[in-house]
Structure 1
Amino acid sequence: MKPDNNSKLTATNIEEKIEQIFQSGGQSGTSASLDDTVLQDLYQTLYHGDEAIMERTWHRLAQRYPLIEQSADTAPAASDARTVITFPQPETYRPQPTPKRPPQRTKTRTLSILMLVAACLLIIGGSLILFTQYQKPTQPAAPPQKGPLQFFDRQGKLIYQVDSHNKVTVGMTPLTRDFINYSLDELAADLHVKRGDLPTMGLKVTTTLDMQLQTQAYQKAQQTIATTSQTHEIGDASAIVLDYHDGSIHALFGNLNTQQSSYNVATQHPRLLGSIFKPITYLTAFEQGISPGEIVDDAQQSFPSSDTDNTPYTPYDYGMTFSNTWMSYRTALQSNSNVPAVQILTRTKLGPLVKKAQALGLHTPPAQDTGYAAALGIFEDTVLNATTAYGTIANQGVAVTPHTIDHVNDSNGRIRYQAPHAGKRILKPGTAFMLTDILSDQQANSEIYGQCNPTLLYSTSQEQCQAAQPGNIRPAAVETGVNDNFKDTWTVGYTTDYVVGVWAGNDNARPLLKIIATDGASQIWHDTIQLAEQGLPIKQFPGPPSDVVKKTATSHGVTTTDWYLK
């Protein structure tokens, strides 16, 4: 049928037109017909009244489409206003020889039949051509480049940008390098994509970085290392500021060496933990019901090497000396004594210690690979893992996964990712409380390290503090340590707001000179946590939870009043 202007063939109605042609005449007892007037018009348009063309066309159509059955006996007379062509059922179709034209066919009737067949053929042929073009498979277009990838700090300042060709156009300075690299790995893991695919995704990433704090802490650390490098031969440092309530990392730098950018103690290169691991040894015992008030003899002793090896192991305190007195475990931890730490581990055994340390996020070797020297932190870990473990203690025993990505928006502004803040209980509330109570004893720290030592968060200047004017002192629970080989100094501690972990030493593990526990890392810790706390109110640590009770006991002539798990 010749389509009018309102029924032009398009890519969307090809199938419909073909279906109309065949279905209108393809069912038993139905027929397709057209007005003679329409056929005559179509004939004039197509053949300009040339009957010879009509004859040749009819012959070719009959040869190409033998399914067209023409019934001369039942065809209406030439005078009838309608002409009928009947299509056979598909299931009954059999190839037929070329039909011969009925004798004495009238010119009008022949013309009508031919014109209807021609109209069908034109529609079907044109439709098939268009349909073929419409269905022609095409190569999928390359996805558009949606870069750049942008990182913002928690105040909304652009700190890093990389385009779709991996060209960094903003950031990646020594100040932000370690934070950005860690964040890129974290982002790829959060979105379950390859890191190399991130620049083409058109993402806007809001990080947890406090750029002002990062800058100030980095500069303070540089100043401390510069002033102590000759005295103690310390060449590098690393620090992390973590909000342990939600796991957000507000500052992170892995080293201060702008020339050797690949050395990153914060997240990649572990260092020997030493004494900052001792609190983990003690909290494992507290979890089993041992109290900080129980008494131990800090004298030279020999212990079995491990749970299964009876080879003698003899630890020594700093300077190869011992106090040779009976003391509580509380006092032993505060004074950083080695013998009591090993002694308490022989009571709790290695397996529970390793399990607890790993639950806190530390990469402790399996129990069978360690001996009782594990109580003294004879294995390595990163600043991030050490800081995270202390953050769980600060958070009353609830661990929250540390992260640098707060949320991610795509190029349309939709949220692609939001950091979870849910926590998981790792320690009993009473265990975390007892450890915080021990490590936050300002009087004990002053007796051990002296007045105005870096573990004391006084609010005035160091000169004023030394002149007995410390101002308001912010409570802090803190542990310091220097390894027996004098290659690493550590300080990790927390307030009611943040936990800060600091390492100081040399990238090449060169031993430090004339170093004590409050040198190097402690001063950087003091400056960093004071910067983080600027403008925040001073608060006390939470009181005792319901699963502890205070008791008084006497043993070996020493009377103590301390906390016990119920």
Structure 2
Amino acid sequence: MKPDNNSKLTAANIEEKIQQVFQSRGQSGTSASLDETVLQDLYQTLYRGDEAIMERTWHRLAQRYPLIEQSDDTTQAASDVRTVITFPQPGTSRSQPTPKRPPQRSRTRTLSVLMLVAACLLIIGGSLILFTQYQKPTQPAAPPQKGPLQFFDRQGKLIYQIDSHNKVTVGNTPLTRDFMNYSLDKLATDLHVKRADLPAMGLKVTTTLDMQLQTQAYQKAQQTIAQTRQTHNIGDAAAVVLDYHDGSIRALFGNLNTQYSGYNVATLESRPLASAFKPITYLTAFERGISPGEVVDDAPQSFPSNDNGDPAYSPLDYGMSYQGLISYRQALQHNSNIPAVQLLTRTKLDPLLKQAQALGLHTPPPQHTGYSAALGTFGETVLNVTAAYGTIANQGISVTPHTIEQVTDSSGHVRYQASHLGRRIIKPGTAFMITDILSDQQARTEVYGKCSPIFLYSASREQCQIDQPGTIYPAAIETGESAIVHDTWTIGYTTDYVAGVWAGNDNYEPMKGTVIATDGAGQIWHDTMQLAEQGLPIKQFPGPPSDVVKKTATYHGVTTTDWYLK
């Protein structure tokens, strides 16, 4: 009888279970009474699949019954099921060698396992050889060249091409040099790669460039600079045309001077804005509830330059001409300096600098400037200031300017698509008031004359002077000149586009003669905008939005009627 299966063998009851086996067989448990049957039964009964208990069992049996020996193969663990047990045979003594009974089932099983392992190794080895031969060609293949990189204008015409060796094969001309350099930098940024890696990527880039407008505007600018070089010593110009509704840059060049071909005022070099910054000063005040109808004293006076105790700031109006009590509307239309500074004393410097930054302009730290900031004493690129005016034109909504519309790879997959989403920067009423002031043709005529190039008439100046101006497009314009006449600006917009133009000298050499912004920059702006508007219908600027109301009020004895934020 075997022990009860429910009575588990443990390390603590090994002796008891061994004795039970021998008692069930009627054995005395002495070495002389051991036989093979008893031991096999003992093995099967006590082992029960627990190798740790089996090992302990054989250890105890070997101590109690010395005739039980393990095989000479000491490499076999005591817990191995293939352990070979020696048994005493009839008629032999303890001193004689004891024959071993080989476990046939264990050897057969071992051989089968070894054969199976060997077969697996052969299969795996063969597979590895075949895989290695398949993966390793006789000669390493050169990486594929995916170039060239191609740029197209908005009409689909190839305007620039560069191969995988960084050699420009199409479009290496001054006409598109600045536009392409700007576009390549932006493309690398948009795709998060290095610019040097672009030529081998096999991309096709659709740009926003209107090649016809670019060519004609560039040529017109060259003609104007050639005419003013002798009379006013104006040697260079830069221009940007922007569709402010979607942010697409339709034309851009930053330099006309081959002597300074790397000097790019459109996107890289900043020049003092002068009075071209004044609309930013005014809209900052209008945003805070000040009305264009409020009255200011346009008279000589001094202002503290900043909060650091520096000497007082005493600006002068152009031509030393002062108008006394006038509205802020009139002050901006006449480009007066003192009212702009007075306005800044009301709004303070920090709000002005934050407003300029929100419009995309770069401003100096407050401690490095003072009330002179109202007059645009710091510099900016043509693109950035043009985009700021575009936000005003777009009723206070800013759309990021861009030259890249779409990028596809060699498989036709779209890698990049421009976003035309905008965000509100200034109130609709504020934008409306600035446009209403700057588009007042009657007021501008009083300052510049009826045939100034800042008016978009379609006829020649000679025809305009005999009252035949042709078609006149409504436009809002501002001009600017630096104090020592190093820079002239004209920036303005219609209901379709905004254009910004700078004219001056790359080496900061002063211009000469009686120079006003309309002599260089103004004429280039006029010609460029006429080209951009050609064939488009005439449209008036939008009327007052819901957040403004017209009021009549009296300030310092002067009564005005103008717009106020609600």
TM-score by length of 2: 0.78
SS at match of 1:185: helix
Q: Who is 1:475 aligned against?
A: 474
Whole-angstrom distance in 1 between the partners of 2:187 and 2:268: 17
CA deviations on 1:197-255 (whole Å, 9 max, x unpaired) are 11111110000000000000000000000011100001100000000000000000010
Write out aligned runs for 1:133-532 (5 A). 133-134=129-130, 136=132, 143-307=143-307, 309=309, 311-319=311-319, 321-514=320-513, 515-532=515-532
What RMSD in Å do the two structures reach over aligned CA positions? Answer: 2.9
Worse overlay, 551-560 or 494-503: 551-560
Whole-angstrom distance in 2 between the partners of 1:190 and 1:96: 72
Change in CA separation of 1:174 and 1:95 when aligned onto 2, cut-off 3 Å: farther
Whole-angstrom distance in 1 between the partners of 2:545 and 2:131: 72
Whole-angstrom distance in 1 between the partners of 2:82 and 2:126: 28
SS at match of 2:275: helix
Q: Who is 1:30 aligned against?
A: none
SS at match of 1:252: strand
CA contact (8 A) 1:239 1:253 kept: yes
Whole-angstrom distance in 1 between the partners of 2:130 and 2:375: 75
Q: Who is 1:554 aligned against?
A: 554
CA deviations on 1:294-344 (whole Å, 9 max, x unpaired) are 11111101111124547321100123x132421111111111110000000
Deviation at 1:128, TM superposition (A): 3.0
Change in CA separation of 1:378 and 1:93 when aligned onto 2, cut-off 3 Å: farther
Is residue 2:125 matched to residue 1:129? yes
CA deviations on 1:347-370 (whole Å, 9 max, x unpaired) are 000000000000000001122221
Share of identical aligned residues, percent? 72
Note the residue ranges of structure 2 that are not aligned, 5 or more in a row: 1-78, 85-100, 103-108
Write out aligned runs for 1:59-74 (5 A). none
Worse overlay, 165-174 or 151-160: 165-174
Deviation at 1:122, TM superposition (A): 8.2
SS at match of 1:193: coil
Worse overlay, 338-347 or 323-332: 323-332
- Residue identity in the other structure for 1:369: H
SS at match of 1:175: helix
Deviation at 1:127, TM superposition (A): 1.8
Deviation at 1:142, TM superposition (A): 6.0
CA deviations on 1:419-456 (whole Å, 9 max, x unpaired) are 00111100000000000000001111111001110111
Change in CA separation of 1:95 and 1:148 when aligned onto 2, cut-off 3 Å: farther
Whole-angstrom distance in 2 between the partners of 1:117 and 1:490: 92
Deviation at 1:135, TM superposition (A): 5.7
Worse overlay, 174-183 or 255-264: 255-264
Change in CA separation of 1:96 and 1:492 when aligned onto 2, cut-off 3 Å: farther
Deviation at 1:144, TM superposition (A): 2.3
Whole-angstrom distance in 2 between the partners of 1:168 and 1:559: 64
Whole-angstrom distance in 2 between the partners of 1:232 and 1:496: 32
Whole-angstrom distance in 2 between the partners of 1:522 and 1:95: 104
Change in CA separation of 1:250 and 1:93 when aligned onto 2, cut-off 3 Å: farther
- Residue identity in the other structure for 1:130: G
CA contact (8 A) 1:266 1:383 kept: yes
SS at match of 2:326: strand
Change in CA separation of 1:95 and 1:162 when aligned onto 2, cut-off 3 Å: farther
Change in CA separation of 1:142 and 1:370 when aligned onto 2, cut-off 3 Å: farther
CA deviations on 1:35-56 (whole Å, 9 max, x unpaired) are xxxxxxxxxxxxxxxxxxxxxx
Whole-angstrom distance in 2 between the partners of 1:95 and 1:397: 90
Q: Who is 1:85 aligned against?
A: none
TM-score by length of 1: 0.78
Residue-pair matches, total: 468
CA contact (8 A) 1:485 1:511 kept: yes
Whole-angstrom distance in 2 between the partners of 1:343 and 1:94: 104
SS at match of 1:220: helix
- Residue identity in the other structure for 1:435: I
Note the residue ranges of structure 1 that are not aligned, 5 or more in a row: 1-91, 104-112
Whole-angstrom distance in 2 between the partners of 1:347 and 1:121: 92
CA contact (8 A) 1:172 1:180 kept: no
SS at match of 1:292: coil
Change in CA separation of 1:126 and 1:368 when aligned onto 2, cut-off 3 Å: same
Whole-angstrom distance in 1 between the partners of 2:314 and 2:454: 30
CA deviations on 1:471-523 (whole Å, 9 max, x unpaired) are 23110000011111100000000000000000000111100012112110000
Write out aligned runs for 1:37-116 (5 A). none
Change in CA separation of 1:377 and 1:118 when aligned onto 2, cut-off 3 Å: closer
Q: Who is 1:533 aligned against?
A: 533
